[in-house]
Amino acid sequence: MIKVAVLGYGTVGSGVVEVLEKNCKQVAEKAGEELQVGYILDLRDFPGDPYAHKVVHDFQVILQDAEVRIVCEVMGGVGAAYQFTRQALEAGKSVCTSNKELVAKYGAELLEIAREHGCSYLFEASVGGGIPLIRPICNALTAERLLAVTGILNGTTNYILTKMDREGADYGEVLEKAQELGYAERSPEADVEGHDACRKIAILSSLITGKHVDAGQIHTEGITSITPGDFAYARAAGCSIKLLASSRIQEDGSVYACVAPFLVEASHPLAAVNDVFNGVLVTGNMVGDVMFYGPGAGKLPTASAVVADVIDCAKSGGGATPCGWTREAASLGNFSQAEHVFFVRAREADREAVLAAFPVDRLLEAEGGAEDFGFFTKAMEEGTFADQYEKLGNKVLGRIRYLAG
Amino acid sequence: MIKVAVLGYGTVGSGVVEVLEKNCKQVAEKAGEELQVGYILDLRDFPGDPYAHKVVHDFQVILQDAEVRIVCEVMGGVGAAYQFTRQALEAGKSVCTSNKELVAKYGAELLEIAREHGCSYLFEASVGGGIPLIRPICNALTAERLLAVTGILNGTTNYILTKMDREGADYGEVLEKAQELGYAERSPEADVEGHDACRKIAILSSLITGKHVDAGQIHTEGITSITPGDFAYARAAGCSIKLLASSRIQEDGSVYACVAPFLVEASHPLAAVNDVFNGVLVTGNMVGDVMFYGPGAGKLPTASAVVADVIDCAKSGGGATPCGWTREAASLGNFSQAEHVFFVRAREADREAVLAAFPVDRLLEAEGGAEDFGFFTKAMEEGTFADQYEKLGNKVLGRIRYLAG
Determine the residue of chain A that is closest to B30 in CA distance: A142
Q: What percent of chain B has pLDDT over 90?
A: 92
A201-225 mean pLDDT = 96
Q: Is A373 exposed, middle or buried (0-12, 13-18, 19+ CB in 10 A)?
A: buried
Indicate yes or no: pTM above 0.90: yes
Say whether pLDDT at A265 is over 70.
yes
- Is A135 near chain B, with CB under 8 Å? yes
Distances (CA, A) of B275 to A230, B158, B162, B260, B280: 30, 6, 6, 18, 15
- Helix, strand, coil % in chain B, rounded to nearest 5: 40, 25, 30
The phi-psi region of residue B367 (left if phi > 0; otherwise alpha if psi is between -120 and 50; otherwise beta) is beta
From CA B393, how far away is CA B391, in angstroms rounded? 5
Residues on chain B touching A130 (C-beta within 8 angstroms): 286-288, 290
- As a whole number, mean pLDDT of residues B88-106 equals 97
A180 contacts A186 by C-beta, under 8 angstroms: no
| B324 interfaces chain A, CB cutoff of 8 Å | yes
| Segment B103-137, tens digit of pLDDT | 999 999 999 999 999 999 999 999 999 999 999 99
| Residue of chain A nearest B324, judged by CA positions | A30
Q: List the end-to-end C-alpha distance of chain B, in Å, as a whole number.
A: 50
pLDDT at residue A361 in the model:
97
With beta carbons less than 8 A apart as the criterion, state whether B37 and B53 touch: no
- Please give the helix or strand (H or E) that residue B161 lies within, else none: helix B155-167
Residues of chain B found within 8 Å of residue A267, distances taken between Cβ atoms: 274
Q: Do A143 and B295 touch (CB under 8 A)?
A: no
Whether residue A200 contacts residue A126, with contact meaning beta carbons closer than 8 Å, is answered with yes
pLDDT in tens, A160-194: 999 999 999 999 999 999 999 888 999 999 999 99
Nearest neighbour of B287 by CB, restricted to A27, A29, A295 = A295
Task: Give the per-residue pLDDT at B322.
Answer: 61
pLDDT tens figures, B30-58: 999 999 999 999 999 999 999 999 999 99
Q: Does A33 touch chain B (CB under 8 A)?
A: no
Q: What is the ipTM of this complex?
A: 0.95
Distance CA A157, CA A178 (A): 10
Residue A110 burial (CB count, 10 A): 23
Q: Which of A355, A386, A372 is CA-nearest to residue A227?
A: A372
d(CA A276, CA A278): 7
pLDDT, tens digit, 9 for 90 and up, residues A319-357: 776 678 999 999 999 999 999 999 999 999 999 999 999
Q: What are phi and psi of A354, to 5 degrees?
A: -70, -45
CA-based nearest distance A131→chain B, Å: 6
pLDDT digits (tens, 9 = 90+) for A3-13: 999 999 999 99
Q: For chain A, give the number of residues.
A: 405
What distance in Å separates the CA atoms of residue B215 and residue B201, rounded to the nearest whole number?
Answer: 8
The answer to whether residue B319 scores a pLDDT higher than 90 is: no
Cα–Cα distances (Å) from A90 to A59, A120, A404, in that order, read: 14, 11, 47
- The yes-or-no verdict on residue A113 having pLDDT over 80 is yes
**Residues sharing a CB contact under 8 Å with residue A136, sequence separation 6 or more, in sequence order:** A282, A290, A292, B132, B135, B136, B140
Residue B265 and residue B405 in contact, taking contact as beta carbons nearer than 8 Å: yes
Sheet hosting strand A2-7, strand order edge to edge: A55-56, A35-41, A2-7, A68-73, A94-97, A121-122
Best interface-test mutation with A: which of B72, B144, B283 has the largest number of A CBs within 10 A?
Answer: B144
Q: Cα angle at B236 between B233 and B239, to 5 degrees? A: 80
Nearest to A23 among B143, B293, B304 (CB): B143
User: Would you call B286 and A144 a contact, using CB atoms and an 8 Å cutoff?
Assistant: no
**Cβ–Cβ under 8 Å, residues B295 and B132:** no
Indicate which residue of A3, A200, A242, A299 is catalytic.
A200
DSSP B174-194: HHHHHHHHTSS-SSTHHHHTS
SS3 at position A320: coil
* DSSP states of A375-389: EEEPSEEHHHHHHHH
pLDDT surpasses 70 at B188 = yes
| pLDDT beyond 80 at A318 | no
Q: Which residues of B are catalytic?
A: 200
Q: For A37-67, write each residue's pLDDT tens digit.
A: 999 999 999 999 999 999 999 999 999 999 9
Instruction: Count CB-CB contacts under 10 A for residue A250.
Output: 12
Please report the beta strands in A269-314, taking only residues with DSSP state E, as ranges in sequence order.
277-284, 288-295
Q: What whole-number distance in Å separates Cα of residue B34 and Cα of residue A285? A: 20
B156: helix, strand or coil: helix
Nearest to B293 among A142, A269, A306 (CB): A269
Check CB contact under 8 Å for B143 and A301: no
Cβ atoms < 10 Å from Cβ of A82: 18
Mean predicted lDDT score pLDDT of chain B: 95
pLDDT band at B328; cut points 50, 70, 90: very high
Give the least confident one: A75-79, A95-99, A365-369: A365-369
Q: Cβ contact (<8 Å) for B300 and A287?
A: yes
pLDDT tens for residues A130-164?
A: 999 999 999 999 999 999 999 999 999 999 999 99
Q: What pLDDT shows up at residue B151?
A: 98
